[in-house]
Structure 1
Amino acid sequence: MNTTLTSGHLVVLQDSFAEKLLDLLNEALAADAVIPYLGPGLLGLSSAETPVPHSPEAVAAALNTRAPAPSKIRTNMWSVAQFIEQRRHRRTLQAWMAEIFAAPTAPTVLHAWLAKLPLSLIIDSWYDGAMRAALADAGRKEVVEIQGVTRANQFGDIWMKTYDLAGSELEPGSVAKTVLYTPHGSIRPAANFLVADSDYVEVLTEIDIQTPIPDVVKERRTNRGFFFFGCRFNDQMLRTFARQIMKRSEGPHCTIMDAQTLTRNEAKFLAASGITVIDLPANEAVARLVGSGSAADGGQDQHRGRL
């Protein structure tokens, strides 16, 4: 069977139907009609072992080697980070996160391909900085990165900071042809991390009214859909962020995921958000996506692609 409609109205595409949607996605990305939303699982595309963790559970494990947390929270990154912040101070947590993500992470083939497209907005929800590196490697000039920042280190009503690809901090509200939005922060250029439960207390209080989300993100999402890759939604915080970043976007939306591994809450979230699942192996899906149609040749089509 190529298409599955679950009882919760989650659409799962397989085989030729999935491949057709990938071809349409290729065109839509080339036409800047879709916003990539990248997660830590994207690093798993690399055939080599990645130098940094590529899941929240792996970050929790790395933090546990430095300060063992109670067994009931040991696999939860946000809770382990909060445990360290409370017992060792915020500076210690910051330093350890910077150590864990210090090694430069080579962009994957998908990072490199996206960096060459005329995209207005890219969301990167992990800390590794690979998408930023891909944009720099591609020689892109008209790019700014807006990073979420913890309120723990700030005075005043500051939710984000803006940087150019050289690492210089820019005035708030600075925009460019391409905006890279890293809502949880990033190792580069300034090691900004939202990671402890306390980092998210005020953010989650305000996010429903969109205060922590940059205005440019709100503007550029309105007539576009979202393409999720490397993302899991098996935690309420991850679902909340994705839902609020997608808010008032036109759609349609899709994700590349193994449908057999979805948790019940993930399936409910995807169905409620109208996110179609492309159920193909990740490497196979990416090979078709970046190797098909005109987008692989630079994405110069002038028509506006639709999924």
Structure 2
Amino acid sequence: MNTIPTSGHLVVVRDSFARKLLELARRALASDQVIPYLGPGLLRLSSAEPPVPSTPEAVAAALNTRAPAPSKIRANMWSVAQFIEQRRHRRTLQAWMTDIFAAPAAPTLLHAWLAKLPLSLIIDSWYEGAMRAALAEAGRTDVVEIQGVTRANEIGDIWTKAYDLCGCELESGAAAKTVLYTPHGSIRPAANFLIADSDYVEVLTEIDIQTPIPDVVKERRIDRGFFFVGCRFNDQMLRTYAKQIMKRSAGPRYAIIDGQTLTRNEARFLAASGITVIDMPASEAVAQLAGSAS
């Protein structure tokens, strides 16, 4: 449980082995030994259609309805956003993203369970704010959210902003039992979005030396592992962020992913990162984690 495989081979567990490993992951989460890393796939756990886009491709499609992009970039969220920013101005892109993510996304069973745990750090890699809502609904008053912000709207060396769950901006470095880190921003409370290619130019230049990552994240990952759920790594941007956020963490590392749908690049990334794939439906995994499985 305390080592990261370094063989470079992808480890995938299924069936009874997957359930046993998931139980170990559940205990590790409950004892604050593993950091949950949440992705947009959690929005699809409900049988209903998610109220906001649940993939980068869906965001690209929503932006294309407002300003059609060239066909060669039409499915790429970051490139479509850059196209809009260059031709319509940043304010327009900001307004459209705010409109696209305006509908509240109800927290899932997993969000609600995590909100009650004594976790030191939670990573939420999407914009909809469901984890933030779950923490607020749980009555938590010991949480600080740190959001990545675009430097397009800032003067000075600013990478992130911090907020309490009431939406008040805090001084950087504010202490909290739980830090919710949303590296790409979030719709709430201030509609911060890293979305266009230009938003990431300086971030990706600096991220290898960890400058854009908050000190508290670097401190709290040292003796912990990571648990990825609702995440895919089929784009270099997503792989780069995950790699740098879990850098120098102790392990173990797990991901709930359908093993049959892995791309070659995803498989290579998971193997190189020492992430064990728990191959089971996300809904089944969430039910077991949150204690409602039979």
TM-score between the two structures when normalised by the length of structure 2: 0.96
Report 1:49-64 matches (<5 A). 49-64=49-64
**Is 2:144 the partner of 1:144?**
yes
Structure 2 CA distance for aligned equivalents of residues 145 and 175 of structure 1: 11
| Separation (CA, whole Å) in 2 of partners of 1:175 and 1:127 | 23
Q: Any unmatched runs of 5+ in structure 1?
A: 294-307
The 2-side partners of 1:37 and 1:204 are apart by 20
Gaps of 5+ in 2: none
Match of 2:258, as an amino acid? Answer: D
Matched pairs, number: 288
- Per-residue CA deviation, residues 199-246 of structure 1 (Å, 9 max, x unaligned), is 000000000000000000000000000000011101111100000000
Answer whether contact 1:37 1:227 (CA < 8 A) is retained.
Answer: yes
- CA separation of 1:153 and 1:170: change in aligned 2, threshold 3 A: same
Aligned to 1:187: 187
Q: Which amino acid aligns with 1:248?
A: R
CA distance in 1, matches of 2:76, 2:170: 34
Q: CA RMSD in A?
A: 1.3
Partner of 1:238: 238
Alpha-carbon distance between aligned partners in 1 of 2:217 and 2:29, rounded to the nearest angstrom: 17
Write the mapping of 1:150-299 to structure 2, written as runs, cut at 5 A. 150-291=150-291
Contact 1:82 1:197 (C-alpha < 8 Å) held by counterparts:
yes
- Name the residue aligned to 2:97: 97
Cross-structure match for 2:119: 119
Deviations 1:81-130 (A, max 9, x none): 00000000000000000000001110011101100100000000000000
Q: Which runs of 4+ in 1 moved over 4 A?
A: none
Q: Is the 8 A contact 1:175 1:216 kept in 2?
A: no
- In 1: Cα distance, 2:99 partner to 2:44 partner: 20
- Secondary structure of the residue aligned to 1:291 is coil
* Correspondence 1:6-21 to 2 at 5 A: 9-21=9-21
In structure 1, what is the equivalent of residue 86 of structure 2? Answer: 86
Counterpart of 1:19, as a letter, is R
TM-score, scaled to structure 1:
0.92
Q: Which amino acid is 1:88 matched to?
A: R
* Equivalent position of 1:131 in the other structure: 131
The answer (yes or no) to whether the contact 1:26–1:292 under 8 Å persists in 2 is no
